Amino acid sequence: MAERAKALLVDDRKDNLLALEAILQGLPVTPVAVESGEAALKQLLTDDFAVILLDAQMPNMDGFETASHIKRRERTRHVPILFLTAADRDAQLALRGYAVGAVDYLTKPFDPWVLRAKVSIFVELWTKTQQLKAQADATREREAQWQRLTETVDEAARVLRANGDDAAAEALALLEKARWGGN
């Protein structure tokens, strides 16, 4: 069964995290809520996420610093970040968010249906990426099996060409081995 997409929710206020979880309810995504930038970075060490919803203004490590750390890591640099903030529409804050790698910057109050739509798109992209990776893995495995089969058939042909009483029996054994996927 395919792994379910996850959304990392980062906000220092529990009520905001609960609201985000409610907004995402019913979407094909598992929300993972944390209350700080530090906790987000720790979570990103163990889990993969389709999208990160990140509060821009938090104590200690704010969203901008958190995003900067996320984008510096090879494993997480391609995870889309949506900044959410209660600050008014300060263009400088939005530019700062985009500068550290955010794909969008939403100010509160935002339309929950717009947020759901944006998250849905990133979940769909993540799911399709996972499917492509699985297909690529399956293709590599089939190519490896084909290579092993070809090598075994080549060995069988070599044995058949050789002179010897047991050559035909050995060749048949090799061909049977190839037929059933043995090594």
Which tens digits make up the pLDDT trace of 47-63? 999 999 999 888 899 99
Residue with more model confidence, 169 or 155: 155
Pairing between β-strand 51-55 and β-strand 29-34 as defined by DSSP bridges: unpaired
Provide the pLDDT for residue 181. Answer: 65
Share of the chain above pLDDT 90, in %: 54
Q: Name the one residue in this structure whose structure tokens are 């069988």.
A: 156
43 by DSSP, 3-state: which? helix
What's the CA dihedral at 36, 86, 17, 79 to 10 degrees? -60
DSSP 137: H
d(CA 46, CA 18): 23
* Predicted TM-score (pTM) of this structure: 0.76
Tokens of 183: 């090594």
Residue with more model confidence, 2 or 16: 16
- What are φ and ψ of residue 105, in 5° steps? -140, 110
Sequence-distant (≥ 6) Cβ neighbours of residue 134 within 8 angstroms: 2
Longest CA span, the chain = 89
Share of the chain above pLDDT 70, in %: 91
Provide the pLDDT for residue 21. Answer: 96
Provide the pLDDT for residue 127. Answer: 92
Which tens digits make up the pLDDT trace of 77-131? 999 999 988 766 666 777 777 788 788 888 878 889 999 999 999 999 999 998 9
